[in-house]
Amino acid sequence: MHKVKFKYRTHKAGSSLFFFPLVDTNDSFIESFRLKASSSPIFSPVAGFVWFISLRRFYTVHSTLYYFVTVDVPWTFVHLRSGFGRIDCELCDKENGDIFEKPTCMTEPSFSLIAMDDASHEPIPITLAVEETWPAWRAQAGTYTNTWIDSVQFLPKAGETCLVPGPDGRLANVLVGAGKKPDLWSLGRLPYQLPQGVYVLDAECGNVTAMGGISLGWALGAYQFARYKAATRPPAELVVSDENALADARRLASATYLVRDLINTPASDMGPAELTAVAEEVAAAGGAVVNVILGEDLIEHGYPTIHAVGRASARMPRLIDLRWGPPKAPRVTLIGKGVCFDSGGLDIKPADNMLLMKKDMGGAAHVLALAQSAMEQELEIQLRVLIPAVENSISSRAFRPGDVIRTRAGKTVEVGNTDAEGRLILCDALAEADSEAPELMIDIATLTGAARIAVGTDIAAMFTDDEGIAVELSDQAQTQQDPLWRLPMWDGYKDDLESAVADLNNVSSHRYAGAIGAALFLREFVSEEHSWVHFDIMGWNPKDRPGRLKGGEALALRALDAMLAARYRKTF
């Protein structure tokens, strides 16, 4: 017997849910039962029904009814249908697992940034010590402060901090070394390095809030992933007097926190169903609508590559489709790779390479964060977000090396390697996005190790044939201190994707220029090439640094957010 847990979502109480076994890959119906969706479920078994059924949990979110049901069945695969609701189903060996907890994007923190009116007591000033102005500052600081600085041998070097007590022994001032120039990360280590309390940037430092978004760096340094391990302590708080700067810093911090939370969450709690729930929560907060094409329906609706990659997993593959904004506004479509865990498939990864594969849905996390920010700013766009969400697993249903798949665009692709699954699920999503000819189309994916070899873990690799967009994004990247680097779409490597039996192979015939090869593959599914930008990102910090804990990380998020705002923010 196998334990199957499924979540049923519907806006219509009293609708019917049908449950059928799926044998091998054919719809062979052995037994069925009907579950009446109501606050007091009615179970109506049909002939031969002998399986135990229990209601796991019931609640309502945004006018949606949620039912959690556990069923013991003798089948490995099941097929569920409903006329009104949407169903998430998954094979589970845990008797009381929490795979279908109430969806949440985590409780929104304060980001440790507050307005002056919210300060509980007089804030302690923070002075940024810049090398050029340091002598002038010391000249007016007074004998007491200068004596203390000399005694602790503080210098205005980046990363140095000096706590200056007052005559009463209480903390009176904080000196922070900024080197030649303050940057986004100058305050990144302070939220947990300083004693708990309220702080404010010294007015004599100038308008540092506007200069490089230094308050955002504080907020990013206040992040902790505390879902499974309690936070060490609350962070110190920073007063931001400028209301607009405070709102912008909180908005960008919220988007970054979302990316980090989703990537950091292990695949056991962030599968395709849970990613869908997060997308629905983001949509509900912004007034967007979400449609999901699930499981076998992907074939019916013309998304064969998404189905092929995800069909081996008991966690059903899907295409998440979020829409927001007025129909006459410019179309902007974001596509994010949502591989919630990547074993490599039948071309299985080595253990070390598999360890971080919970982060392979980092592209999906990024586009949800961008959508959240765009809706919060009420940008003048018709926004669409497409996330092919799958788990690349191994079973008798897994797609195989050598298989040929006819894609949504009609082109055939030979599977040269099942571990190059990201470009397969993206190609169908890109074809769908391209069918609407958006003004701007952006895809983000944790796609290739080759991009990491080329630009490392901090820099997002960018591909586009549009010179204007490339310059625009590069300028914003520098302004936002959010590094990216454009790599070439070198047409000379296109022949390396040839196949003897199909239009394309999903991998190159050699190991060279892997990131370029992946980008060229994706370009085959975009007819309006000049509206398209492709990002190949790491999505992970390999070590702790100021403002950036080891773990999930947003790359190119601030640059993209700034570019979208510059283009589409409302003007009054």
pLDDT of 324-374, one tens digit each? 999 999 999 999 999 999 999 999 999 999 999 999 999 999 999 999 999
Please indicate, yes or no, if residue 18 is contained in any of the structural domains. yes
| pLDDT score of 53 | 36
Residue 33, SS3 per DSSP: strand
pTM value is 0.84
The CATH code of the domain that includes 436 is 3.40.630.10
* Domain co-membership, 231 together with 305: no
Distant-in-sequence, close-in-space partners of 502: CB < 8 Å, separation ≥ 6? 404, 412, 413, 414
Catalytic residue among 36, 56, 349, 452: 349
**Measured distance CA(45)–CA(51) in Å, rounded:** 9
| pLDDT score of 402 | 98
Please indicate, yes or no, if residue 167 is contained in any of the structural domains. yes
Query: 70 near 93, Cβ under 8 Å?
Result: no
| pLDDT score of 570 | 84
Of 27, 61, 91, which residue is a domain's last? 91
The sign of the dihedral angle between the CA atoms of 325, 328, 334, 339 is positive
Q: Residue ranges of the chain with pLDDT lower than 50?
A: 1-5, 7-68, 70-105, 107, 206-212
Of 182, 213, 241, which residue is a domain's last? 241
* Domain co-membership, 53 together with 161: no
The total domain count for the chain is: 3
Please indicate, yes or no, if residue 323 is contained in any of the structural domains. yes
Distant-in-sequence, close-in-space partners of 498: CB < 8 Å, separation ≥ 6? 504, 505, 509
Q: Does the annotation count 408 as an active-site position?
A: no
Task: Locate 186 and state its tokens.
Answer: 């100058």
The CATH code of the domain that includes 159 is 3.40.220.10
Please indicate, yes or no, if residue 33 is contained in any of the structural domains. yes
* Domain co-membership, 14 together with 132: no
318-324 vs 382-392, strand pairing mode:
antiparallel
* Domain co-membership, 216 together with 277: no
Q: Does the annotation count 423 as an active-site position?
A: yes
Query: 324 near 286, Cβ under 8 Å?
Result: yes
* Domain co-membership, 175 together with 216: yes
Please indicate, yes or no, if residue 108 is contained in any of the structural domains. no
* Domain co-membership, 231 together with 325: no
Query: 274 near 282, Cβ under 8 Å?
Result: no
**Measured distance CA(185)–CA(69) in Å, rounded:** 47
- DSSP secondary structure string for all residues of 436-452: T--SEEEEEE---HHHH
Please indicate, yes or no, if residue 337 is contained in any of the structural domains. yes
Domain that holds residue 42: 2-91
* Domain co-membership, 86 together with 121: no
* Domain co-membership, 493 together with 344: yes
pLDDT of 198-230, one tens digit each? 999 986 554 444 444 899 999 999 999 999 998
Of 188, 210, 241, which residue is a domain's last? 241
* Domain co-membership, 56 together with 125: no
Helices and strands per DSSP (H, E), number in the chain: 15, 28
* Domain co-membership, 461 together with 333: yes
Please indicate, yes or no, if residue 430 is contained in any of the structural domains. yes
Please indicate, yes or no, if residue 100 is contained in any of the structural domains. no
* Domain co-membership, 56 together with 138: no
**Measured distance CA(122)–CA(170) in Å, rounded:** 13
Catalytic residue among 250, 315, 423, 548: 423
* Domain co-membership, 371 together with 425: yes
